[in-house]
Amino acid sequence: LAFEARAVKLQPYAWIKVRNVRFISCHADYSPSVPTGLSCNFEEGLCSWYQDNSDNFDWSVVTGMDHTIGIGSSLVVDMWSPSLHGAFGRLVSYPQPPTPTERCLTFFYKLYGPNAGALNVKLIDGLGYEIILWTRSGAHGNEWHEAQCPVPQQLTTFQLTFEAVRSGFDGQVAIDDVAFVDRVCTIPRKCSFEGQKCGYSTVKWLHRSGHNNTTTGPKTDHTLGTELGYYMMVNTDADVFPTGTTAVLTSPVRPGTTKPECISFWYHMGGPNPGYFTVYLKLEKGERVPIFSESLGQGDDWRHGNSNISNGLIDWQLEFEVVGSGSRGSHVAVDDISVSAHPCEDQASKCSLENGMCSWSNIQNNLRDKLDWELTSAEAEQHYPVPLEDHTLGTEKGHFVFFPSSNRTAASQNAWLLNSHLPPTQATCLRFWAYKPDSSDCQLKIWRLSGGLIFELLVVNELGGPWRHFEVNITSSEEYQIVFEGIKGTSGFVALDDIEYTVGFDCATKVTEPTSKKPDNAGGIAASVIVVLLLIGTLVALLVFYLRTRPELEASSGATGFSNEGYVPDSTVSAGVSEREEE
């Protein structure tokens, strides 16, 4: 709770007073977080945390960009600071007593910039061994994200550590509103499976990395793009997973909400017939409902899946189920599961960037790029030069992705922005808006990525000012991805907004109906749940209407004809179609 006073106009004898603050009529079932020394919003110091003297640099208390009240304090590491030296900065808790059960460390974090580095949460046990509990790396947008980190039961004294890891000189890491609570974490908004399983329970799923996977499975994870990164996997080889065998990965319970949410994840299916992979929404009261399914081998690639869910205040879980098909040398893997507090945007083919980056993502392959594209808005930006407004909303609150040039990283370093895989096409139109000021010396290239090879589609060098619209026709005889590549110079930036692709239509065709392509499961559960509710509501309304009007109908049973109050003549509909076709 924060009381904030702002002076609209300076006056010599004006003041605001707040006093006698009380809480009354509190809900009987509400339990506040148990206050501990580790719970801290950093408004009055570091609480029960201290700077590690054995690291390379310290965290700084910065005012004006916190999560708590927006103008308060948070802990920050500015990677672009010229006074920063070395690779690690650690914030360590004072020793904590043993815990009889699992607890939850919650906090808000920010990883921002084209070379932001990484943020780790580690546990130091009574013997001094360090265990990674949670990790994030790369650009996450200029916004605060909520994190929930399970802390296992500890039989001896232990410590917790926040560790900022530097990978370059152009980014920022921040934390705020830390709480250490005596309960199990709920399903986190994002789970990368680095360090641990985020509370997911498993039946025949394995927690693996490419480094320790001696059998079948992805060689690298999706989060880090290296063999050291972790994911969840089912070995579906017939010798260990016969036909009909079932493996289930179940999330912790998450409270229901009235608003639609977007479930997003990355999956890897190797082998000619790896099995039947289905994602279910399981309501606390009711049957589970399928929201995504796949059964074909997908090659050595991580692929994106998503779906809208709408649960109507009923607590729910996710279930990732694999059923064996009796194949050889096959597997199914899952990584980077996220739950967004907004619907999936237009089945990923049209992205305004107002609710995240849709199916577009930075890559973690150092052979392809070294930096990241970043999501921001003019209102939130405090460090980099950016457009004064986005293209979608035309305001400073609107969002876009951008790639800055600076002298803090080597010239000609690049960043790739990729979409999910698209099917072979004879005609697909890519449309987007780009912004690059006259003073910018960075470049923008658009590529088609197929079979590990890239094919140039467009090069944008000179823009000079406001948002410009571009259209690119794409043809491909094989599956492909679209790549936006930013190449940095010494100053300025390039920005993108309102990215759209229309599969099956070239740029000269006016698209008025959805294209016929393989469904990507987005909106499946939302449609099923909402349609059922609408049908039930309609039936109830018709029944009530019939019961109320039955006496009138019986009284007027001798009348003939019908009322046309709800009748819409066919000519009106046809005219509407004709107008759309002419347009």
pLDDT in tens, 265-303: 999 998 888 999 999 999 887 788 999 999 887 778 888
Residue 425 has pLDDT above 60, yes or no: yes
Would the pLDDT of 447 be above 90? Answer: yes
C-alpha distance from residue 17 to each of 24, 61, 121 (Å)? 21, 28, 41
Residue 240 is given by DSSP the state: T
Residue 346 has what pLDDT?
56
Residue, of 122 and 85, whose pLDDT is higher:
122
User: What's the pLDDT at 563?
Assistant: 30
Confidence band of 499 (pLDDT split at 50, 70, 90): very high
Say whether pLDDT at 321 is over 90.
Answer: yes
- Segment 314-338 shows an average pLDDT of 91
| Residue-level pLDDT at 537 | 54
- Beta pairing class for 465-476 and 316-323: unpaired
Q: Answer for the pair 474, 411: CB distance below 8 angstroms, yes or no.
A: no
Quote the tokens at residue 105: 């460390």
Better-scored residue on pLDDT, 540 or 175: 175
* Whole-number pLDDT of residue 392: 94
Say if residue 219's pLDDT is above 80: yes
Of 392, 406, 439, 428, whose CA–CA distance to 503 is shortest? 428
The dihedral through the CA atoms of 494, 498, 502, 508 has a sign that is negative
pLDDT tens, position by position, 54-63: 888 899 999 8
> What band does 105 get if pLDDT is binned at 50, 70 and 90?
very high
Kindly tell me if the per-residue pLDDT of 317 is higher than 50. yes
Report whether pLDDT(18) > 90: no
| Residues 248, 241 contacting (CB under 8 angstroms) | no
Largest Cα span, the chain: 95
pLDDT computed for residue 190 by the predictor: 85
- CA-closest candidate to residue 137, choices 182, 194, 85: 194
Give residues with Cβ within 8 angstroms of 497, minimum separation 6. Answer: 352, 353, 390, 391, 392, 398, 399, 400, 401, 432, 433, 435, 467
pLDDT classification of 89: cutoffs 50, 70, 90:
very high
pLDDT value at position 542?
Answer: 53
Query: Region 137-152: what's the mean pLDDT?
Result: 88
Rounded mean pLDDT, 221-249: 90
With 0-12 / 13-18 / 19 or more C-beta atoms within 10 angstroms meaning exposed / middle / buried, residue 6 is exposed
pLDDT at 169 over 60: yes
pLDDT value of residue 19: 84
* Whether pLDDT at 232 is above 80: yes
* Residue 529: per-residue pLDDT: 44
The amino acid present at 91, given as its one-letter code, is L
Q: What is the pLDDT of residue 489?
A: 84
334 has a pLDDT exceeding 90: yes
pLDDT of residue 26: 67
The rounded percent of the chain whose pLDDT value lies above 70 is 84
Whole-number pLDDT of residue 212: 74
- Contacts (Cβ under 8 Å, ≥6 apart) of 456: 445, 446, 447
Q: What is the average pLDDT score of the chain?
A: 81
pLDDT of residue 345: 65
Q: How far apart are CA 485 and CA 508, in angstroms?
A: 25
264's enclosing H/E stretch is strand 261-270
CA distance 356 to 337: 15
**pLDDT over 60 at 383, yes or no:** yes
By residue count, the chain amounts to 583
Q: What is the pTM of this model?
A: 0.70
Question: Tell me, what's the pLDDT at 412?
Answer: 80
Task: Please give the residue that has the higher pLDDT: either 167 or 173.
Answer: 173
Range of weakest confidence among 15-19, 154-158, 244-248, 322-326: 15-19
Tell me which of 213 and 360 has the higher pLDDT: 360
The pLDDT, as a whole number, for residue 28 is 55
pLDDT at residue number 554: 44
pLDDT at residue 221 greater than cutoff 80: yes
Q: Report whether 93 contacts 48 (CB < 8 A).
A: yes
DSSP class of 95: P
Mean pLDDT to the nearest integer, 358-376: 85
Mean pLDDT, range 46-61, rounded to an integer: 89
Least confident interval from 182-186, 329-333, 478-482:
182-186
Instruction: Report, as an integer, the average pLDDT of 492-496.
Output: 91
* 24-28, 74-78, 347-351 — most confident range: 74-78
pLDDT at residue 583 greater than cutoff 60: no
Three-state secondary structure of 187-207:
CCCEECCCCCCCCCEEECCEE
- Reduced to 3 states (helix: H, G, I; strand: E, B; else coil), residue 145 is strand
Cα gap 119→150, rounded to integer Å? 16
What mean pLDDT comes out for the span 471-496? 91
